[in-house]
Structures are given as C-alpha cells and as structure tokens.
Amino acid sequence: MVIRLQKKSIAGTIEVLIRLAKKPEAHRGLIAIFDTEPSIWASIQSIIDPKDLHPKVRPREPRPHCTIANRIYDEVDFSDILEALKVSPGLSPYSCSPRRIDVLENVAGDVAYLELNGDFFRQAHSSVSQWDTSTRKYEPHITIACVLPGRGSEYCGSLSGFGVQAPKFIGNRLKYILNRRVDAYYDLISEEITIDTHKSD
C-alpha cells in the first residue's frame, strides 16, 4: 500500500507519518535514492559475472542508492532528521558521476561497489551521525552486488576498463526505513512524503 501526503509544514507531515508507521522492532536507516534509466544500472551490474554472485544473500541491488545513516535510534523522529539535514546539502537534489569500482572484502562475501567522491554525502552523514548507532567508518558508496569471498578483487578498476561509460546519477529522494514493514520517501523538490507499506521478510 502506498500513501501520499503533501503539506507545506514538514513537521506536521512527519508527525502523521510517524503515527502511521509506529510498529515494534523498528530498524531505521536513511538512504539517498538515485533515479536513473534501468538500462544504465543494468550495464554496470552486467560487469559482475553471474557465477560470482553470492547465493545466500541478495546478490544484486535493484537500484542505485547511497546509505547516509545505517542504523538510527528508534526513538528519533524523522522531523528531527530532516531539520538536521537542512544545515547541510542533504535536503537538496544531488548528483554524482562514479568512475571506479572498489571492493570490501569479507569472509562472508565480498561487496563490489562504486566509489563516491565529494563532500555531499559526508556532510549529510555528519548532520545525522549523532543518531547513527553504526560503528563502521562512514565511506559513501553505491553497492553493485555481493559476490563470493575472494572474487571481489576481479572487479576493482575503472568502469571504462570494463567497457562501461561512467554514468551521471541524479537524485531527488531520500528513503527512510522506519521498520521492516514501512518505508518513507521524501521528495526533495515537492516536499511530498510517500509511505510505502509492505510485508516483512
């Protein structure tokens, strides 16, 4: 089910959202969504050999995104987060043009991702880091796929080296994962909130 709310007052809209999304066992995260042609994202994902995809986790990301905060305290209102982002570029449309693939190696599986340079995402993360419980060092990136342990190094290098042109990703939306059943999307241009309810895993 998708619910759309539009009010000039961010705080007022968010209070409605919070009441609708109040559920136990919340897992909250803040993500920047990139809207791009599916063919562009598919060309980047085609670099990964299907035989290398990890069989036990979601191998491919359905669309490009960059995590701003991985795990936010459950009691933090979305209105507080948006207010904090106002002092950074976090409430403005954003863009990036990644050119290289790097890999995070892990015994459970390697993660191939696009490197993101620039200060936009770091500044946005810094604005909400007081509520982020993740202990990992923040490195903005766009995950492409999870591959088998030890196979990630095969994909390090420039996109041009794999015959793929560097894309230009443009983003106008933030996704706030309120819990396992409810996601909220905030449109940075219209200030519209879209609440998407779905079945939990």
Looking at residue 153, what is its pLDDT?
A: 93
pLDDT tens figures, 109-144: 899 999 998 788 999 999 999 888 887 889 999 999
- For the chain, the domains span 2-197
Q: Write the CATH number of the domain with boundaries 2-197.
A: 3.90.1140.10
pLDDT lower than 50: segments of the chain: 1-3, 5-9, 11-12, 20-21, 23-26, 201
Place of tokens 């191998």: 59
Q: Which of 68, 106, 108, 105 is nearest to 89 (CA)?
A: 68
The residue behind tokens 């979601």 is 58
Q: What is the DSSP letter of 60?
A: B
DSSP state string for 19-57: HHH--SS--EEEEEEEE--HHHHHHHHTTS-GGGB-SSS
